[in-house]
Structure 1
Protein backbone atom coordinates (compact mmCIF):
# COMPACT_ATOMS: atom_id res chain seq x y z
CA UNK A 1 0.00 0.00 0.00
CA UNK A 2 1.32 3.47 -0.83
CA UNK A 3 1.74 5.60 2.27
CA UNK A 4 2.30 9.08 0.89
CA UNK A 5 -0.07 11.78 -0.40
CA UNK A 6 -3.07 9.88 0.94
CA UNK A 7 -6.55 11.30 0.51
CA UNK A 8 -8.65 11.20 3.68
CA UNK A 9 -12.09 9.62 3.61
CA UNK A 10 -15.26 10.40 5.51
CA UNK A 11 -16.04 7.45 7.75
CA UNK A 12 -19.40 7.06 9.47
CA UNK A 13 -19.11 6.22 13.19
CA UNK A 14 -19.96 2.67 14.27
CA UNK A 15 -20.83 3.57 17.87
CA UNK A 16 -17.54 3.03 19.63
CA UNK A 17 -14.06 1.63 19.13
CA UNK A 18 -13.82 -1.33 16.77
CA UNK A 19 -12.68 -3.57 19.62
CA UNK A 20 -15.72 -2.67 21.70
CA UNK A 21 -18.27 -2.82 18.87
CA UNK A 22 -17.02 -6.09 17.37
CA UNK A 23 -16.77 -8.25 20.45
CA UNK A 24 -18.98 -11.25 19.66
CA UNK A 25 -17.82 -14.07 21.92
CA UNK A 26 -15.90 -16.99 20.44
CA UNK A 27 -18.55 -19.21 22.04
CA UNK A 28 -21.23 -17.55 19.89
CA UNK A 29 -19.11 -18.02 16.77
CA UNK A 30 -18.52 -21.68 17.64
CA UNK A 31 -22.17 -22.38 18.42
CA UNK A 32 -23.34 -20.98 15.07
CA UNK A 33 -20.50 -22.73 13.20
CA UNK A 34 -21.44 -26.10 14.70
CA UNK A 35 -25.09 -25.49 13.83
CA UNK A 36 -24.73 -24.64 10.13
CA UNK A 37 -21.26 -25.86 9.16
CA UNK A 38 -19.56 -29.05 8.04
CA UNK A 39 -18.21 -31.80 10.26
CA UNK A 40 -14.55 -30.97 11.13
CA UNK A 41 -12.06 -32.66 8.81
CA UNK A 42 -8.58 -34.08 9.32
CA UNK A 43 -7.00 -33.14 5.97
CA UNK A 44 -7.70 -31.71 2.50
CA UNK A 45 -8.55 -35.19 1.20
CA UNK A 46 -11.65 -35.14 3.40
CA UNK A 47 -13.04 -32.14 1.50
CA UNK A 48 -14.00 -34.43 -1.39
CA UNK A 49 -15.97 -36.74 0.91
CA UNK A 50 -18.10 -34.06 2.56
CA UNK A 51 -21.88 -34.45 2.44
CA UNK A 52 -22.37 -30.71 2.99
CA UNK A 53 -21.29 -28.73 -0.13
CA UNK A 54 -18.42 -26.27 0.13
CA UNK A 55 -17.18 -23.57 -2.24
CA UNK A 56 -13.57 -23.12 -3.33
CA UNK A 57 -12.52 -19.56 -2.47
CA UNK A 58 -10.25 -17.86 -5.01
CA UNK A 59 -8.95 -14.31 -5.38
CA UNK A 60 -11.40 -12.16 -7.35
CA UNK A 61 -12.26 -8.49 -7.80
CA UNK A 62 -13.99 -8.39 -4.40
CA UNK A 63 -11.07 -9.79 -2.36
CA UNK A 64 -7.70 -11.50 -2.51
CA UNK A 65 -6.85 -14.77 -0.77
CA UNK A 66 -3.53 -14.69 1.06
CA UNK A 67 -1.03 -17.54 0.80
CA UNK A 68 -2.76 -19.78 3.32
CA UNK A 69 -0.27 -21.63 5.51
CA UNK A 70 -2.64 -23.03 8.15
CA UNK A 71 -6.00 -23.23 6.39
CA UNK A 72 -7.71 -24.36 3.18
CA UNK A 73 -9.65 -22.10 0.75
CA UNK A 74 -13.11 -23.61 1.30
CA UNK A 75 -16.33 -22.24 2.83
CA UNK A 76 -19.93 -23.40 3.06
CA UNK A 77 -22.14 -21.55 0.54
CA UNK A 78 -23.58 -19.12 3.13
CA UNK A 79 -20.10 -18.04 4.21
CA UNK A 80 -18.82 -17.80 0.62
CA UNK A 81 -21.77 -15.54 -0.28
CA UNK A 82 -21.17 -13.43 2.84
CA UNK A 83 -17.49 -12.96 1.98
CA UNK A 84 -18.37 -11.83 -1.54
CA UNK A 85 -21.03 -9.44 -0.19
CA UNK A 86 -18.54 -7.88 2.24
CA UNK A 87 -16.08 -7.36 -0.62
CA UNK A 88 -18.75 -5.89 -2.91
CA UNK A 89 -20.05 -3.48 -0.28
CA UNK A 90 -16.53 -2.43 0.68
CA UNK A 91 -15.71 -1.69 -2.98
CA UNK A 92 -19.00 0.16 -3.52
CA UNK A 93 -18.44 2.28 -0.39
CA UNK A 94 -14.87 3.06 -1.45
CA UNK A 95 -15.96 4.17 -4.94
CA UNK A 96 -18.82 6.26 -3.52
CA UNK A 97 -16.24 8.21 -1.47
CA UNK A 98 -13.88 9.06 -4.27
CA UNK A 99 -12.32 5.77 -5.29
CA UNK A 100 -9.12 3.83 -4.83
CA UNK A 101 -8.04 0.43 -6.14
CA UNK A 102 -8.03 -1.63 -2.96
CA UNK A 103 -9.30 -5.09 -2.15
CA UNK A 104 -9.78 -6.98 1.07
CA UNK A 105 -7.22 -9.60 2.09
CA UNK A 106 -8.54 -12.95 3.36
CA UNK A 107 -5.96 -14.44 5.72
CA UNK A 108 -7.61 -17.58 7.12
CA UNK A 109 -10.45 -19.86 6.02
CA UNK A 110 -11.17 -23.56 6.74
CA UNK A 111 -8.82 -25.18 9.23
CA UNK A 112 -8.30 -28.91 9.61
CA UNK A 113 -7.70 -30.57 12.96
CA UNK A 114 -4.09 -31.11 11.91
CA UNK A 115 -3.77 -27.47 10.84
CA UNK A 116 -5.05 -26.21 14.20
CA UNK A 117 -2.52 -28.34 16.10
CA UNK A 118 0.25 -26.96 13.91
CA UNK A 119 -0.97 -23.38 14.30
CA UNK A 120 -1.20 -23.64 18.09
CA UNK A 121 2.55 -24.28 18.25
CA UNK A 122 3.24 -20.78 16.87
CA UNK A 123 0.08 -18.87 17.85
CA UNK A 124 -0.99 -18.97 21.49
CA UNK A 125 -4.31 -17.31 20.58
CA UNK A 126 -5.34 -20.26 18.39
CA UNK A 127 -7.90 -22.42 20.17
CA UNK A 128 -8.50 -26.12 19.70
CA UNK A 129 -12.29 -25.68 19.42
CA UNK A 130 -12.20 -23.22 16.52
CA UNK A 131 -15.13 -22.02 14.40
CA UNK A 132 -12.71 -22.19 11.46
CA UNK A 133 -13.13 -25.99 11.46
CA UNK A 134 -16.70 -25.77 10.17
CA UNK A 135 -16.26 -23.82 6.91
CA UNK A 136 -18.41 -20.99 8.24
CA UNK A 137 -15.66 -18.66 9.39
CA UNK A 138 -12.95 -16.55 7.79
CA UNK A 139 -10.54 -13.78 8.75
CA UNK A 140 -10.15 -10.50 6.86
CA UNK A 141 -7.07 -8.41 7.59
CA UNK A 142 -7.54 -4.83 8.73
CA UNK A 143 -3.77 -4.26 8.87
CA UNK A 144 -3.11 -4.95 5.18
CA UNK A 145 -5.14 -4.36 2.05
CA UNK A 146 -4.32 -5.25 -1.56
CA UNK A 147 -3.54 -2.27 -3.77
CA UNK A 148 -4.06 -3.22 -7.42
CA UNK A 149 -3.00 0.10 -8.93
CA UNK A 150 -2.25 3.56 -7.64
CA UNK A 151 -5.31 5.68 -8.41
CA UNK A 152 -6.33 7.36 -5.16
CA UNK A 153 -4.05 6.72 -2.20
CA UNK A 154 -5.84 5.84 1.04
CA UNK A 155 -4.51 5.37 4.54
CA UNK A 156 -4.60 1.95 6.18
CA UNK A 157 -6.55 3.50 9.06
CA UNK A 158 -9.29 4.83 6.77
CA UNK A 159 -9.57 1.50 4.94
CA UNK A 160 -9.78 -0.36 8.27
CA UNK A 161 -12.53 1.94 9.52
CA UNK A 162 -14.42 1.72 6.22
CA UNK A 163 -14.33 -2.08 6.50
CA UNK A 164 -15.60 -1.71 10.07
CA UNK A 165 -18.48 0.45 8.84
CA UNK A 166 -19.42 -2.18 6.23
CA UNK A 167 -19.21 -5.03 8.74
CA UNK A 168 -21.34 -3.14 11.27
CA UNK A 169 -24.13 -2.75 8.71
CA UNK A 170 -23.99 -6.41 7.69
CA UNK A 171 -23.88 -7.62 11.29
CA UNK A 172 -26.84 -5.36 12.15
CA UNK A 173 -28.74 -7.16 9.37
CA UNK A 174 -28.17 -10.42 11.29
CA UNK A 175 -25.92 -11.98 8.65
CA UNK A 176 -22.79 -12.59 10.72
CA UNK A 177 -20.91 -12.45 14.00
CA UNK A 178 -17.70 -10.42 14.16
CA UNK A 179 -14.72 -10.38 16.54
CA UNK A 180 -12.02 -7.71 16.32
CA UNK A 181 -8.71 -9.56 16.78
CA UNK A 182 -6.12 -7.10 18.07
CA UNK A 183 -3.04 -9.32 18.04
CA UNK A 184 -3.80 -10.98 14.71
CA UNK A 185 -4.73 -7.73 12.93
CA UNK A 186 -7.96 -9.12 11.50
CA UNK A 187 -11.73 -9.31 11.77
CA UNK A 188 -12.83 -12.87 12.65
CA UNK A 189 -16.18 -13.39 10.91
CA UNK A 190 -18.72 -16.23 11.13
CA UNK A 191 -21.69 -16.45 8.78
CA UNK A 192 -25.19 -16.83 10.18
CA UNK A 193 -28.00 -18.69 8.45
CA UNK A 194 -30.78 -16.13 8.83
CA UNK A 195 -33.08 -18.19 6.59
CA UNK A 196 -33.05 -21.05 9.10
CA UNK A 197 -33.59 -18.68 12.00
CA UNK A 198 -36.59 -17.14 10.27
CA UNK A 199 -38.12 -20.57 9.69
CA UNK A 200 -37.77 -21.73 13.29
Structure 2
Protein backbone atom coordinates (compact mmCIF):
# COMPACT_ATOMS: atom_id res chain seq x y z
CA UNK A 1 0.00 0.00 0.00
CA UNK A 2 2.95 2.34 0.72
CA UNK A 3 4.26 1.87 -2.79
CA UNK A 4 0.88 2.62 -4.36
CA UNK A 5 0.53 5.85 -2.36
CA UNK A 6 4.08 6.88 -3.28
CA UNK A 7 3.43 6.14 -6.95
CA UNK A 8 0.16 8.12 -6.96
CA UNK A 9 1.91 11.04 -5.22
CA UNK A 10 4.77 10.99 -7.73
CA UNK A 11 2.38 10.95 -10.70
CA UNK A 12 0.39 13.87 -9.23
CA UNK A 13 3.58 15.89 -8.67
CA UNK A 14 4.70 15.30 -12.25
CA UNK A 15 1.26 16.31 -13.57
CA UNK A 16 1.22 19.47 -11.47
CA UNK A 17 4.71 20.41 -12.64
CA UNK A 18 3.80 19.81 -16.30
CA UNK A 19 0.58 21.83 -16.05
CA UNK A 20 2.20 24.68 -14.17
CA UNK A 21 3.76 26.22 -17.27
CA UNK A 22 0.68 25.90 -19.49
CA UNK A 23 -1.76 28.26 -17.76
CA UNK A 24 -1.68 31.75 -16.39
CA UNK A 25 -3.67 32.97 -13.42
CA UNK A 26 -4.26 36.38 -15.00
CA UNK A 27 -4.74 37.00 -18.68
CA UNK A 28 -6.52 39.08 -21.25
CA UNK A 29 -8.92 37.31 -23.59
CA UNK A 30 -10.14 38.98 -26.77
CA UNK A 31 -12.88 37.51 -28.95
CA UNK A 32 -12.63 38.83 -32.49
CA UNK A 33 -14.18 37.98 -35.85
CA UNK A 34 -12.21 36.10 -38.45
CA UNK A 35 -9.89 38.27 -40.55
CA UNK A 36 -12.05 37.69 -43.63
CA UNK A 37 -14.72 40.04 -42.25
CA UNK A 38 -12.46 43.03 -42.95
CA UNK A 39 -12.01 42.17 -46.60
CA UNK A 40 -15.27 40.42 -47.55
CA UNK A 41 -17.71 41.97 -45.09
CA UNK A 42 -19.38 38.59 -44.57
CA UNK A 43 -20.16 37.19 -41.16
CA UNK A 44 -17.76 34.43 -40.17
CA UNK A 45 -16.46 32.50 -37.23
CA UNK A 46 -14.89 34.20 -34.25
CA UNK A 47 -11.37 33.68 -32.97
CA UNK A 48 -10.02 33.96 -29.44
CA UNK A 49 -6.72 35.63 -28.64
CA UNK A 50 -5.20 35.22 -25.17
CA UNK A 51 -2.18 36.93 -23.71
CA UNK A 52 -0.91 37.41 -20.13
CA UNK A 53 -0.81 41.22 -19.90
CA UNK A 54 -1.60 43.63 -17.05
CA UNK A 55 -5.21 44.89 -16.79
CA UNK A 56 -4.28 48.31 -18.14
CA UNK A 57 -3.09 46.75 -21.43
CA UNK A 58 -6.06 44.46 -21.97
CA UNK A 59 -7.29 45.78 -25.30
CA UNK A 60 -7.20 44.91 -28.96
CA UNK A 61 -4.11 47.05 -29.66
CA UNK A 62 -1.91 45.15 -27.19
CA UNK A 63 -3.31 41.61 -27.49
CA UNK A 64 -4.65 41.06 -31.02
CA UNK A 65 -2.80 43.49 -33.29
CA UNK A 66 0.71 42.08 -32.56
CA UNK A 67 -0.52 38.68 -33.77
CA UNK A 68 -2.30 39.81 -36.96
CA UNK A 69 -0.53 43.05 -37.97
CA UNK A 70 0.69 41.63 -41.28
CA UNK A 71 -2.80 40.49 -42.34
CA UNK A 72 -4.78 43.71 -41.69
CA UNK A 73 -2.39 46.58 -42.42
CA UNK A 74 -4.23 49.88 -42.43
CA UNK A 75 -7.50 48.45 -41.12
CA UNK A 76 -6.53 47.92 -37.47
CA UNK A 77 -9.12 50.33 -36.06
CA UNK A 78 -11.97 48.82 -38.08
CA UNK A 79 -10.97 45.35 -36.93
CA UNK A 80 -10.54 46.35 -33.26
CA UNK A 81 -14.06 47.84 -33.13
CA UNK A 82 -15.43 44.33 -33.61
CA UNK A 83 -13.30 42.75 -30.86
CA UNK A 84 -14.43 42.25 -27.27
CA UNK A 85 -11.62 42.10 -24.73
CA UNK A 86 -11.90 41.29 -21.05
CA UNK A 87 -9.41 40.67 -18.28
CA UNK A 88 -9.67 37.33 -16.48
CA UNK A 89 -8.26 36.41 -13.13
CA UNK A 90 -8.53 32.93 -11.70
CA UNK A 91 -6.89 30.91 -8.98
CA UNK A 92 -5.36 27.83 -10.59
CA UNK A 93 -3.95 26.70 -7.27
CA UNK A 94 -7.45 26.22 -5.90
CA UNK A 95 -8.47 24.39 -9.06
CA UNK A 96 -5.46 22.06 -8.72
CA UNK A 97 -6.22 21.34 -5.06
CA UNK A 98 -9.85 20.50 -5.85
CA UNK A 99 -8.85 18.22 -8.73
CA UNK A 100 -6.28 16.42 -6.58
CA UNK A 101 -8.86 16.01 -3.81
CA UNK A 102 -11.42 14.53 -6.23
CA UNK A 103 -8.82 12.15 -7.70
CA UNK A 104 -7.79 11.08 -4.19
CA UNK A 105 -11.41 10.38 -3.18
CA UNK A 106 -12.01 8.38 -6.37
CA UNK A 107 -8.83 6.38 -5.71
CA UNK A 108 -9.97 5.59 -2.17
CA UNK A 109 -13.36 4.46 -3.49
CA UNK A 110 -11.70 2.19 -6.06
CA UNK A 111 -9.48 0.64 -3.37
CA UNK A 112 -12.54 0.18 -1.12
CA UNK A 113 -14.44 -1.46 -3.97
CA UNK A 114 -11.51 -3.82 -4.55
CA UNK A 115 -11.48 -4.66 -0.85
CA UNK A 116 -15.19 -5.44 -0.90
CA UNK A 117 -14.82 -7.58 -4.02
CA UNK A 118 -12.09 -9.59 -2.27
CA UNK A 119 -14.17 -9.85 0.90
CA UNK A 120 -17.40 -10.94 -0.83
CA UNK A 121 -16.34 -14.57 -1.54
CA UNK A 122 -15.27 -14.98 2.09
CA UNK A 123 -18.63 -13.72 3.35
CA UNK A 124 -20.57 -15.89 0.92
CA UNK A 125 -18.53 -18.91 2.03
CA UNK A 126 -19.45 -18.22 5.67
CA UNK A 127 -23.12 -17.75 4.81
CA UNK A 128 -23.35 -21.16 3.16
CA UNK A 129 -22.20 -22.87 6.39
CA UNK A 130 -24.97 -23.76 8.84
CA UNK A 131 -24.96 -21.19 11.63
CA UNK A 132 -27.39 -19.82 14.14
CA UNK A 133 -29.60 -16.92 13.15
CA UNK A 134 -30.81 -14.06 15.33
CA UNK A 135 -34.54 -14.16 16.02
CA UNK A 136 -36.39 -10.96 14.98
CA UNK A 137 -40.00 -9.94 14.45
CA UNK A 138 -39.59 -9.94 10.66
CA UNK A 139 -38.47 -13.55 10.82
CA UNK A 140 -41.68 -14.51 12.69
CA UNK A 141 -43.78 -13.66 9.64
CA UNK A 142 -41.66 -15.86 7.38
CA UNK A 143 -41.52 -18.73 9.87
CA UNK A 144 -45.28 -18.73 10.52
CA UNK A 145 -45.96 -19.56 6.91
CA UNK A 146 -43.65 -22.60 7.00
CA UNK A 147 -45.12 -24.24 10.10
CA UNK A 148 -43.43 -23.80 13.44
CA UNK A 149 -41.24 -20.94 14.57
CA UNK A 150 -38.27 -23.27 15.19
CA UNK A 151 -37.99 -24.61 11.64
CA UNK A 152 -35.38 -22.04 10.66
CA UNK A 153 -31.91 -22.20 12.23
CA UNK A 154 -30.88 -19.23 14.34
CA UNK A 155 -27.76 -17.38 13.23
CA UNK A 156 -25.80 -15.05 15.48
CA UNK A 157 -24.01 -12.22 13.67
CA UNK A 158 -22.18 -10.06 16.21
CA UNK A 159 -20.05 -7.99 13.81
CA UNK A 160 -20.93 -5.10 11.52
CA UNK A 161 -20.54 -7.08 8.30
CA UNK A 162 -22.96 -9.64 9.68
CA UNK A 163 -25.53 -6.94 10.33
CA UNK A 164 -25.07 -5.58 6.82
CA UNK A 165 -25.56 -8.98 5.24
CA UNK A 166 -28.60 -9.52 7.48
CA UNK A 167 -30.09 -6.23 6.20
CA UNK A 168 -29.32 -7.30 2.63
CA UNK A 169 -31.08 -10.61 3.17
CA UNK A 170 -34.08 -8.85 4.70
CA UNK A 171 -34.21 -6.43 1.76
CA UNK A 172 -34.03 -9.30 -0.73
CA UNK A 173 -36.93 -11.04 1.03
CA UNK A 174 -38.97 -7.84 0.89
CA UNK A 175 -38.25 -7.43 -2.82
CA UNK A 176 -39.26 -11.03 -3.48
CA UNK A 177 -42.47 -10.55 -1.48
CA UNK A 178 -43.27 -7.38 -3.38
CA UNK A 179 -42.69 -9.09 -6.73
CA UNK A 180 -44.94 -11.94 -5.69
CA UNK A 181 -47.68 -9.48 -4.65
CA UNK A 182 -47.45 -7.43 -7.83
CA UNK A 183 -47.15 -10.23 -10.40
CA UNK A 184 -49.19 -12.99 -8.76
CA UNK A 185 -51.74 -11.22 -6.58
CA UNK A 186 -51.74 -7.89 -8.41
CA UNK A 187 -51.54 -5.89 -5.16
CA UNK A 188 -48.96 -3.47 -3.80
CA UNK A 189 -47.31 -3.41 -0.38
CA UNK A 190 -47.78 -0.33 1.76
Same fold (TM over 0.5): no
* Structure with higher strand content: 1
Which protein, 1 or 2, shows the higher relative CO under an 8 Å CA cutoff with sep ≥ 6? 1
* Structure with higher helix content: 2
> What's the TM-score once normalised by structure 1's chain length?
0.20
